[in-house]
Structure 1
Amino acid sequence: MDKAIFRHLSVRLVAEHACLDVLAAPHGLDAAVGPPAILDPSPGAVVLAAGVDTPLARAELLRALGTAGAAAVVFKPPVEPGTLAAAERAGVALLAAGPGLSWGRLHTSLQAAADLGPHEPLGDLFQLADTVAATVGGATTIEDPHSRVLAYSNLGHPTDPARRQVILARAVPEEWVRTLRDTGVFRRLWGGEGVVRVTAFDAPGYRPRLAVAVRAGGEPLGSIWVVEGERPLGVEAERALRSAAGLVALDLLAARAATRARGRGDDALLAVLDGRVESLLTREVLGIAPAGPMAAVAFAPEAAGGPAEEITAARRVADLVTLTAAAYRHHVTCTASDGRAYALVGGPQPARDLAAQVVERAATTLRLAVRAGIGATVDGLAAIARSRREADQVLDLLVGSPGPGIATIDDVRARVTIERLRGLLHEHPEFRELREGGLATLAAQDAHKGTSWVATVRAYLDAFGDVASAADRVSVHPNTFRYRLRRINEVFGLDLSDPDERLVAALQLRLT
């Protein structure tokens, strides 16, 4: 094992590089780790536990890893609480990989991190392309594995129509891709032959060029292409290009890490809002303490068009939330998902204030009508999923209905409870009794004979049993109303003097 790499890599770095969740870190996120290994309990290794998917097998592996001094282990979810405890006892960091990530791809990604170690970005890729061009001696392009142009040099080196076409399109044209594939250039480039010399194309003005694949730990990151200028590109140019590939690999990895970092905040917040297992990196990514009062706020823009327009509008609202929070010095974490924007806010009053500011500014600056639902204030990230569900339920009531554009769960708790019960009624057939019984018979009689039995029951319940008030609601004499109540009991078996019967009847009227 390379001791220098062992000293510099950490649990944090390998988790960020491979997009893993850290579920346990007995020695901290900055504990040193080494290269990956598959089921090999060697000292310092990050062990990929391929095929180890039962609690008993995982506990046994963790004991062996702890004894051998392995630094970390990677499991596929779900990870049981007992496995987390076993990792803590063994002193082994426990990382979780996404179910869609193959073990082979994960090994390649972790090996890339081990090969290159931690590094700082080298700067602008275009500046790096200029540096390569000056060092190797020809016009340079840097491309991704799909032949899309990432950067190109601009130092005045001689070029040819093929390169000009590539730069204008910011990608290698399809006809050139076919030619490179058919002549075996791609096979040689990605097959590990080192620097590839391309000279055999029969095209007007075509100049020879050198190409080299850019890799990290066997993982292809892109390629560098250098067009031959006034002087031939000889052995020294090939050597310089091979060296440049390592520098470009660092920059491409840094660019990829930056892209992942932009998405990690969204992913972390969505994971917390969904109530999924919280990674130890979540606190750092979100920049918010895991404990303390906090609330979820959901925003729904009323965008014209289809789902694509809704998603775009939600992203714009999320950006507006971030800007508004910064302007008013609120600490807010925000993301967008499924046509809605979500914000995590520290406390009830800041949540209402932020919602009001965003709704007002969206109307004036984005020309968007936005509704906002605020969930209950909870204590810490572990409970925020409940606040998010409530924020969504509040928003479901507000969207498409007249009335205020902002509400908290306390403002509409009764209506939300009714909607929850209505959802249970539809999801669980065992509650079908709420659709049957005396009230259903009354409704059938009304529909068949034009009577008003259900209206009588509703008026009685709405008037809290006050016959005079209930009779006035349906415009009949109180004695007539009392007669109807007796008939409802005698003929249909619905006794409204029974509190249980009244409760069930009220639920039937509200939910069906």
Structure 2
Amino acid sequence: MTSRAALPPEPSVALREVLAFDDGGSLRLLLAPAGRDIGVRGVAVGDEGPARSLDGCLVLVTGAPASSPAAAAPVREAARRGASGVVLRAVEGVAAAPQVLAAAEEAGVALLTRAEWADWTDAAALLRSALACARAGADDGAAGRMGPGGPESLSALAAAVAEYTGGSITIEDTRLRVLAHSATGPDADVLRRSTILGGRVPEWRVAELRRSGMLRTLWTSRDVIHRAADAEGPERLIIAVRSGPEVLGSIWVAGDGRPLRPDAPDALRRAAEVAAPLLVRHRLRESGAARRSEVALRGLLYGDGDARTHAWSLGLSPDAACAVVVAEPLAAAPAPGDRTLDVAALQAATYRPSVRVLRDGDRLLVLLPVDAGPDRGAAALARELAGQAQDAGVLAGAGPVAAGAAGVRDSYDEALLVVRVLRERAAMGGAQRSADAAGVGPSLDVARILDAARPVWEAGRGPVHELVRADLAAGGELVRSLAAYLDASGDVARAASRLVVHPNTLRYRLRRARERFGVDLEDPDTRLLVTLAVRLSG
């Protein structure tokens, strides 16, 4: 493997130039002992390991905030390893600790703080996009103007891309809302006109893109996608705009009654690099409202606070019917860098304009407003989310339609329970990856009963409790044998086959349960208690 030291160093960019991209005010420079023209080569996270060189990096210290004296130590450590600056979390209304300011001054590193309303993902995306854009601006080529000294807005960028590609341009966010577009010619197709007039891609078109797999291809591709002209529209080029692994939006080029230029794909690649910081800026400008919406959505789903107030904060009527969809990775521990749920989140966000999406760790929560009457949209969305990442493995459960905001928590709880049932079935070799209550049948009620019975079981005592505790401590062979016997409705031969043992071996184990622990499976109450016990023990 090639070491980091063996790679050619990235060209540095002046700190002043990097911060010029932050017109949303998410970063604040507290001091710069070496001046604002100090070079920045990259962005690093402070806890990425002691072996990594931080030469020329802006280091994001995610631990103690700037107001804590404890932040002085990571500032000194970053400086010792060659960092040009350190970014700490700000606490609103609280000044940076004097010890921290003194540490940065003595070490000669720039000290910045990250606004409370932004998060570390926002800060990293902004800084990395600014560096990429500044470097792109130094390159030669047909699209060389599309750098920090060129377009300063998405509208200017759209006009420049139209010039270099010979087509009509729309720049869209991940919800397929139009953020900017070039001038529309007289030969523009109907889809482009309706997209611009409506401010977003029409729902029927979004549904078509989902069904064809085009959206999933767009969100996962890192290069230009080409769609040839057909009876439904002109030739199109599309590219996702990224900041590192994060998708920020997309740029679409449509032929306007004439062929696109031969070098249009190259111009589009350069445009995507330039668009990244502009889209980050756009996102940061919306961050305050986005944070408030996230708090409201979290409160509505988890039942914290007043549900009606949360609904109004989300722009929804408190009496509007809605349902919840929960999606989780099939793997208990997804691989580092796994973007499966990120792609699912993009798919969910484009399902309907009114959808609200919350990523909570390794779980995706989707609030789906229902227009009127009973709606199977939640189950359909669950199928789509599971189907979009079938290879990686996603489990998606749909909750019932709630009559209003007060019922959202119940819909969430049921969707979560459906996912749990799907996970248990997957562990037994089942292939089902999405469902609603009807799709998992009685298993949903069994899961509820087990949850209700668990505290009673854990507080109890007696022969069955003694058997389960003692056997699980010894490896659980007897508990597994009892489970197989009960699942086979008392058929010893079938249960033994499932356990891959001789029937006499199973009979011996059942006899041992009766003789050693006094557990007689001929007694109906004992049999019921053992059934619950083996299910609760997993």
- TM-score grouping bracket, smaller chain normalisation: 0.3 to 0.5
Larger-Rg structure: 1
* Greater helix share, structure number: 1
Taking structure 2 as the reference length, the TM-score comes to: 0.41
Taking structure 1 as the reference length, the TM-score comes to: 0.43
